[in-house]
Structure 1
């Protein structure tokens, strides 16, 4: 089934693997030897975490963005419900589709949906505000490039998708690398409002912090309940209870704010960059 939505984001082949199966020799607890401020010193291949000039996340606002209205190029998505599993990776909870759950098409290149995961609190900020949670949806092309979207959530009403899988999260909350089937999941259940969104070039937000990522962050903020936040954070241990990297310097990078005056099943967006 076809839906047309936003999107643009890429990564090199080596980075795309690490975005899916990130090394866990790091954590987020301030003041410890492996906290985010020290990631660049832990391994030589992580050096860019400390020296890079295009690191993520960042604080997004109209003040730093070039505003684009009703741009003219089309990106397409094709999603379908297939069986999925939930995995406790220790540093986050990941949903992974066991079969082909669909794709997005960018510049005539297919990017297959491979996984989603949550960060709490949010990694990206909007107008200086940190939120309760952030969802990342990850797609990958046959060549290994990624297309990723981020959705922010503030504390409030329960999130419908998380409500659906709460019993499964609890089932593996104390099991490192634990997995459980969550049945057929339609990626459209995550729900995105595509009226307004940011795009910028950045990096992975976990080691090795590889640059070459074009982030796409939805401006409209969703809601998640305090119980759901606690459930996801309590499932993490050993310095991963709060798994958000602090905002990084912009260093003069271009940020685009795309605004659509009339939301439509067909969403027109610009090509911020391409391979």
Structure 2
């Protein structure tokens, strides 16, 4: 699905896709401002209407971002980043975000990926155990052997009373120059990834397969969520927020469950109660013992809440 959607999106202006080999700008071409957004009519609820290639935004069953909870496992290995020192990098405003065109190689799960850019979302798109963060940075990678395969390292940022981490400090002085959509500037000396590399080494990395969080919402994207947050100063956060405004897609349904737009379309109807729900299996024998008290939340398929007590343990055949 990712391959087909990327082909359809060959002329699309999409944050997560920008900078990839199949979407390179022609020599001398200016910054292309995104045609989607986060407002009432051009926002996530309507992305599928903006272009035919955005069908997955309303129909995909493995969409991002999600709430990172216990169902998302720690990656078996950590990504290994090799980011060379460069004389300068391009920093630009796409209208939907601000991003830095980067260069580097990341090795993960036996494959090599090319770092092409990182961009920002305020507030964070992913939640970690229900908590959102003020800022999330996506480091977008493209596989070297198969350019249709994408991986995203997601960094969370917490506002701090101290200084920003090195990746933010490297670009903070250039923020005023990209305050207008369509503008760009060269950052001399490149970006200092020292703090990012240290955090990846010290933090748990949580892995799941989801989708682009912007149109065309193509699925099959590997997300590597760095669980522990990095620091951003109050001043830098306010500067970034004033440029980007709000650009976070709403939390999506449990992986494998129906698209949230389908859930919303059925809201207020009897059919909404019959939507398939992905739940973790729990053995009845583990919770139903004589004298055990619990709350019944559903009877005959209808919302209910009554106190109950087990008077006789049920046979294991019902587990």
- The TM-score with structure 2 as length reference comes to 0.65
The residue number in structure 1 matching 2:188 is 182
Q: SS state of the match for residue 184, structure 1?
A: coil
Residue pairs, 1:85-234, within 5 angstroms: 85-97=90-102, 101-106=103-108, 108-142=110-144, 143-144=146-147, 145-156=149-160, 157-160=162-165, 161-174=167-180, 176-191=182-197, 192-194=199-201, 195-234=203-242
- More contact order relative to length (CA 8 Å, sep ≥ 6): 1
The residue number in structure 2 matching 1:51 is 59
Distance in structure 1 (CA, Å) of the matches to 2:78 and 2:157: 27
Distance in structure 1 (CA, Å) of the matches to 2:173 and 2:61: 41
Number of equivalent positions: 231
Q: Choose which of 35, 39, 46 in structure 2 pairs with 1:25.
A: 35
Q: SS state of the match for residue 244, structure 1?
A: coil
Q: SS state of the match for residue 174, structure 2?
A: helix
Q: Structure 1 stretches of 5 or more lacking a match?
A: 1-10, 255-275
Q: SS state of the match for residue 189, structure 2?
A: strand
Between structure 1 and structure 2, the one with the greater Rg is: 2
| C-alpha RMSD of matched pairs (Å) | 2.7
Distance in structure 2 (CA, Å) of the matches to 1:172 and 1:151: 22
Q: CA deviation at 1:175?
A: 5.1
Q: Does 1:60 align with 2:60?
A: no
| Cα gap change, 1:163 to 1:188, in 2 (>3 Å) | closer
Q: CA deviation at 1:36?
A: 1.1
Q: SS state of the match for residue 185, structure 1?
A: coil
Q: SS state of the match for residue 188, structure 2?
A: strand
| Cα gap change, 1:86 to 1:75, in 2 (>3 Å) | closer
Q: CA deviation at 1:150?
A: 0.2
- The TM-score with structure 1 as length reference comes to 0.74
Distance in structure 2 (CA, Å) of the matches to 1:109 and 1:159: 32
Q: Structure 2 stretches of 5 or more lacking a match?
A: 19-31, 258-277, 279-319
Structure 1 or 2: more helix by fraction: 2
